[in-house]
């Protein structure tokens, strides 16, 4: 018993020291301070890193009034970077040897994440069901921010009535519906989620919009423009070049390809273990260098736009909706799911707030826009 308590005390001291570097107190009174309900979490944190940290929150072993600000403190202080040597990181490193993005696993993310229930996403997202970062330059609400983002995409590719756009990772068709209604475009959307296809077809009924349940590598035909909003994170590092080759092969010579993706400031070779296990399995967030390498000899980079700070507002908007409507779906998902989803949304908001990750829109052409590309903002 003495040895157990001694080890627990040592683990607590390690955790206290790390948190103090981020100006976080255990059982403190500030909104970002952590309240511990189970003393065993200290040993788990030391051994399991971010995976254990998230799992302990799911289990109710600790709480915090503002998880988003707690996570922002951790990233701003670079405590997370200095704590890389842990079981969490060994597990995450080993996971990189899995074939992330392989075609045989293409539908896994659809089943694990996007198919968990349209009733959840309908209550969390904006009225158009846009599950990517909004554009908050002049927007005051989530609905306005998402419409502004969709319009920004249309303007960046110079969309004209009658043009045919390929949407890789189309979700429930928010872009497709917007482009068809507002710009008179025809859109073909590709997704690996059966639930997205079913609801998307219903929402876009009567419009020149087609939904295909398939992997991006099975796309056929050529298109005036291609867009991809929030899907590149599921491609996998080893497949970045292959993905760009597919986009190149299916884009008409005078067209534009707009890539909208979360971006990493640095590549440490490992995904976050908790996110990888519970939210987005087999995902990978690209760096500038990785995107640059993937487009070499295929595309001219016409524009690179970073509005990552807007993802903080978007995620907080999603959490506000999710939390407000939770009583309507609580019986379906249960308390553990609530804590898991809350942690996912707020932890991601904190990460963007600390500028640990970014949001990029990259506009690419096959041969360069004659006379030069004029950026839309």
Residue 165 and residue 278 in one domain: yes
Residue 78 and residue 122 in one domain: no
Residue 6 and residue 85 in one domain: yes
Residue 155 and residue 203 in one domain: yes
Beta bridge partners of 259: 228, 362
Enter the tokens of residue 181.
């209604």
Q: Which of 95, 128, 144 is the last residue of a domain?
A: 95
The per-residue pLDDT for range 14-73, each reduced to its tens digit, is 999 999 999 999 999 999 999 999 999 999 999 999 999 999 999 999 999 999 999 999
Could you give the CA distance from residue 213 to residue 9 in angstroms, rounded to a whole number? Answer: 53
Residue 320 placed within a domain: yes
- Yes or no: say if 263 and 287 are a contact pair by the CB < 8 Å rule: yes
Residue 376 placed within a domain: no
Would you give the end-to-end CA distance of the chain in angstroms? Answer: 63
Residue 108 and residue 25 in one domain: no
The per-residue pLDDT for range 73-122, each reduced to its tens digit, is 999 998 876 654 443 344 444 444 456 677 877 788 999 999 999 999 99
Residue 58 and residue 137 in one domain: no
Tens-of-pLDDT digits for all 377 residues of the chain? 334 466 678 999 999 999 999 999 999 999 999 999 999 999 999 999 999 999 999 999 999 999 999 999 999 998 876 654 443 344 444 444 456 677 877 788 999 999 999 999 999 999 999 999 999 999 999 999 999 999 999 999 999 999 999 999 999 999 999 999 999 999 999 999 999 999 999 999 999 999 999 999 999 999 999 999 999 999 999 999 999 999 999 999 999 999 999 999 998 767 899 999 999 999 999 999 999 999 999 999 999 999 999 999 999 999 999 999 999 999 999 999 999 999 999 999 999 999 999 999 999 999 999 999 999 99
Q: Nearest-5° angle of CA 202, CA 207, CA 211? A: 60
Which sequence positions are flagged as catalytic?
348
Q: Which of 71, 95, 119 is the last residue of a domain?
A: 95
Could you give the CA distance from residue 298 to residue 321 in angstroms, rounded to a whole number? Answer: 41
Q: How many domains does the chain have?
A: 2
Residue 181 and residue 296 in one domain: yes
80 is in which domain, residue-wise? 2-95
pLDDT for position 90: 44
- Yes or no: say if 285 and 311 are a contact pair by the CB < 8 Å rule: no
Residue 113 placed within a domain: yes
Residue 7 placed within a domain: yes
pLDDT for position 83: 58
């Amino acid at each position: 018993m003495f040895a157990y308590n001694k080890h627990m005390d040592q683990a607590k001291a390690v955790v206290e020291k790390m948190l103090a570097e981020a100006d976080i107190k255990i059982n403190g009174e500030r909104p970002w301070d952590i309240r511990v309900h189970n003393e065993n979490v200290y040993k788990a944190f030391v051994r399991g890193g971010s995976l254990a940290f998230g799992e302990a929150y799911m289990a109710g072993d600790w709480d915090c009034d503002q998880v988003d600000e707690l996570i922002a403190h951790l990233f701003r202080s670079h405590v997370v970077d200095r704590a890389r040597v842990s079981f969490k990181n060994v597990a995450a490193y080993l996971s990189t040897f899995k074939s992330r993005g392989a075609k045989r696993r293409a539908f896994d993310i659809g089943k694990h994440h996007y198919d968990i229930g349209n009733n959840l996403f309908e209550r969390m997202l904006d009225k158009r069901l846009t599950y990517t970062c909004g554009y908050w330059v002049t927007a005051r609400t989530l609905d306005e921010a998402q419409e502004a983002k969709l319009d920004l995409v249309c303007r960046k590719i110079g969309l004209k009535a009658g043009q045919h756009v390929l949407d890789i990772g189309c979700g429930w068709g928010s872009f497709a519906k917007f482009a068809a209604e507002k710009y008179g475009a025809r859109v073909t959307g590709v997704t690996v989620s059966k639930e997205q296809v079913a609801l998307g077809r219903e929402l876009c009924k009567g419009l020149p919009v087609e939904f295909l349940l398939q992997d991006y590598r099975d796309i056929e035909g050529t298109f005036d423009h291609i867009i991809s909003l929030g899907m590149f994170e599921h491609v996998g590092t080893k497949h970045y070049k292959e993905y760009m080759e597919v986009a190149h092969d299916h884009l008409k010579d005078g067209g534009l390809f707009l890539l909208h993706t979360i971006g990493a400031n640095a590549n440490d070779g490992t995904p976050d273990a908790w996110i990888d296990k519970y939210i987005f399995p087999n995902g990978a967030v690209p760096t500038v260098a990785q995107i640059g390498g993937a487009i070499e000899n295929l595309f001219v980079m016409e524009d690179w736009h970073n509005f990552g700070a807007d993802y903080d507002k978007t995620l907080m908007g999603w959490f506000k909706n999710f939390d407000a409507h939770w009583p309507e779906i609580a019986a379906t998902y249960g308390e553990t799911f609530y804590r898991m989803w809350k942690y996912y949304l707020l932890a991601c908001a904190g990460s963007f707030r600390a500028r640990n990750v970014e949001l990029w829109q990259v506009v690419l052409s096959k041969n360069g826009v004659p006379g030069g590309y004029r950026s839309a903002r």
